[in-house]
Amino acid sequence: MTNKLVMATNNANKLREAREILSPLGIEVLSQREAGADCDPDENGSTFAENAIIKAKAVFEAVGLPTIADDSGLCVDALGGRPGVHSARYAPKGGECDKLLGEMKDVPDDKRGAAFRCTVCFMDASGHSEFTGSCEGAIGYEKRGSNGFGYDPVFMVGDRTMAELSADEKNSISHRGAALRELYRFLKERNGDI
């Protein structure tokens, strides 16, 4: 029998990543749409963890199945950690990189450090657990690559942007992948019993 787990998203990329990481445990990951959860909670938390808990709780209460939710964003050192939890609302969709490059135009190389950070929340009837991951890098000077979205074209990992990496390369170092691998270890200790 396959264990079912709902991911509080309908994002195909997030679902694919979670399915790839958790399927060896015999866990079937459903989107919230597939599970019948028609909710879009207000992510008004002040941390990634708070927002992940808000989403997981809403979907768990709607469907009654173990649920995972994530929240993530880009934290830029020179901007005091911004845009952080406001990454999705930092600029109009598609304008994130241009706004960020504008804010960073006078920042020298050694001050361009940044990290993608993610918290995944697992919630079931007994409560919730949180798992975190990060991907360290720096903000480049121009947009490069076409394999990503959001801030990927300006987020440098070594001498390439996240958008210049293949999907497999990106998944192996991504902040969400790291948090999901922590979740995998947690569920494996429970013998995949969710």
Tell me, yes or no, if 71 is annotated catalytic.
yes
**Among the listed residues 150, 78, 147, 87, the one whose alpha carbon sits nearest the alpha carbon of residue 117:** 87
Please say whether the beta carbons of 180 and 52 come within 8 A.
no
Measure the CA dihedral 53/76/162/93, to 10°: 70
Which two three-digit tokens encode residue 89?
Answer: 């609302």
Strands 155-157 and 113-124: unpaired
The string of DSSP letters for 97-120 reads HHHHHHHTTT--GGG-EEEEEEEE
Query: To 5 degrees, how large is the angle CA 86–CA 87–CA 91?
Result: 95
**What are the start-end ranges of the E strands in the chain?**
3-7, 27-31, 67-76, 113-124, 127-139, 155-157, 160-161
Q: Which of 38, 40, 71, 110 is catalytic?
A: 71
Closest CA to 112 of 75, 84, 144, 145: 75
Residues with catalytic roles? 71
